[in-house]
Amino acid sequence: MQAAKASWLAPIIAVALNVFVPAETRQEKLTRGLISLGMYILGLIFGFIALASMRRYGRGGILVPALIGVCVNGALVLMFTLVIVLALTVR
């Protein structure tokens, strides 16, 4: 259950970091972006761990939070990847 909860909480914490912590320089923005990407990837990993542990611990309290976490984090990682690829190719 904790991995499932961590899965859907990771993007909330990353977005809060982006909204409430000011970044002045380009380096600070890059660092904050990479930290956010890392949190999204960790949330995705925690979601997969939670889904894999359902066989052992049952579906109660794990399935819905883990699916939400995997879907949200997966979408955010995909969008982040698209932005990085587009930024690298459009020069």
Per-residue pLDDT reduced to its tens digit, 22-72: 888 888 888 888 899 999 999 999 999 999 998 888 888 889 999 999 999
Question: In the chain, where are the structural domains located?
Answer: 2-89
Handedness of CA 20, 33, 85, 38 (dihedral sign): negative
The reported pTM is 0.85
pLDDT, one tens digit per residue, over 65-84 is: 999 999 999 999 999 999 88
Query: In Å, how far are 1, 12, 43, 54, 60 from 38, measured between CA atoms?
Result: 21, 13, 9, 25, 28
Alpha-carbon distances of 28 from 21, 33, 52, 71, 87, rounded to whole Å: 10, 8, 36, 28, 18
